[in-house]
Amino acid sequence: MLEGATISGLKRDDRPARFATGIAMSVANRADFGRQPTAGRHELHHSELFTDAALIDLLDHMPRAQVHALTMGSDLTRPQDNRLALHDGVSGADMLRAVRGGRLWLNITRVDRADARYRRLVDQMYGELAAVVGGFAPDSSQATLLVSSPHALVYYHVDGPATVLWHLRGHKRVWVYPALDERYATREALEGIFAGVQHEYLPFDPSFDAGAAVFDLEPGQWLAWAQNAPHRVSNLDSLNVSLSTEHFTPDSRRRARVYAANRYLRVRWGLANLSARESGAGAMMKAVVHRLARLAGVDPAQTKRHVATLRVDPDAPHGVTPLDPQTTPARALA
Ligand SMILES: [Fe+2]
């Protein structure tokens, strides 16, 4: 927790403390929260933290290593067209201009660490969400601010942690697919994602859409789904701003431990068909073995990496220009 923290030499904790989040959901949806796709309302889009001026200020002052700019193609089955773009030396205003006129997706990660105002807001949001849902008690959370071009997309993927998407500006369509269903995401893929060795993208077949729940989001709506439900996103014809929050509970941590341990035991020791049960003595034993292996340095997991091949350029088509390999060697980001 960084209340009052000084980031990049600037004290960022001198603004209004509380905001009326207006978080609400229908009574009928409360039992589905965390189990099925669930939508609700909020008032966060009226906050000063998500205006153009706030986004530019954030981009100009936060550590740029926490900002990832990605462009993309249009074929939903080709996540390899998602390409990382460098942006050191590009002002916040030019970043936003490149997004508005280009084909870019900015992931402003750990915005809650970069600026205490976002941390406070996320704490408040989760406090109020827990009060609305009842019985929901996450013990920690983190937030990524998403700023993306008209018609930009996020390829079919699955996230390890449980997430909530708080939509703030523009319009987007979200497809959510069944969680923990081998037809949509294999157990092995999920194990790799929890182990941090595999990108979240999954093979996509357009026939999957028959099993999807589809939501058109407008500012003032939030959407949640079951942990590990695959999903994809397409922006409609406007610049989009959303806050994506991840939250952690004892149950979600247990799942992460069991899947990562199963991967280790499968890859390192050839143990197949291990149970995905998340509780009980077997789950605990596997987690202990995996933890000891990691402490001993015998888990050979390779961390996933992105390699930048582009640079953000607000004056270029799609808002990016290729890196010149003569002057700027491709750079890997963890
Ligand atoms: Fe996601």
CA 200 to centroid of ligand 1, rounded, Å? 8
CA 76 to centroid of ligand 1, rounded, Å? 15
CA 62 to centroid of ligand 1, rounded, Å? 23
CA 63 to centroid of ligand 1, rounded, Å? 22
Closest residue by Cα to residue 15 from 47, 55, 61 = 47
CA 157 to centroid of ligand 1, rounded, Å? 6
Contact 208, 176 (CB under 8 A): no
- Which residues, in sequence order, are CB contacts of 179 under 8 Å at separation 6+? 225, 226, 227, 228, 229, 230
CA 177 to centroid of ligand 1, rounded, Å? 12
The pLDDT tens digits along the chain (334 residues) read 333 333 333 344 444 445 678 888 887 788 899 899 999 999 999 999 999 999 999 999 999 999 999 999 999 999 999 999 999 999 999 999 999 999 999 999 999 999 999 999 999 999 999 988 888 889 899 999 999 999 999 999 999 899 999 999 999 999 999 999 999 999 888 988 887 777 889 999 999 999 999 999 999 999 999 999 999 999 999 999 999 999 998 888 888 887 777 787 787 777 777 777 777 777 777 777 777 777 777 665 666 667 899 999 999 989 999 997 666 655 555 4
CA 189 to centroid of ligand 1, rounded, Å? 15
Phi and psi torsions of 262, nearest 5°: -60, -40
CA 166 to centroid of ligand 1, rounded, Å? 12
pLDDT tens digits for range 151-209: 999 999 999 899 999 999 999 999 999 999 999 999 888 988 887 777 889 999 999 99
Torsion of CA 313, 315, 317, 318, to 10 degrees: 50
d(CA 296, CA 313): 45
Contact 242, 191 (CB under 8 A): no
Closest residue by Cα to residue 209 from 80, 81, 76 = 76
CA 233 to centroid of ligand 1, rounded, Å? 9
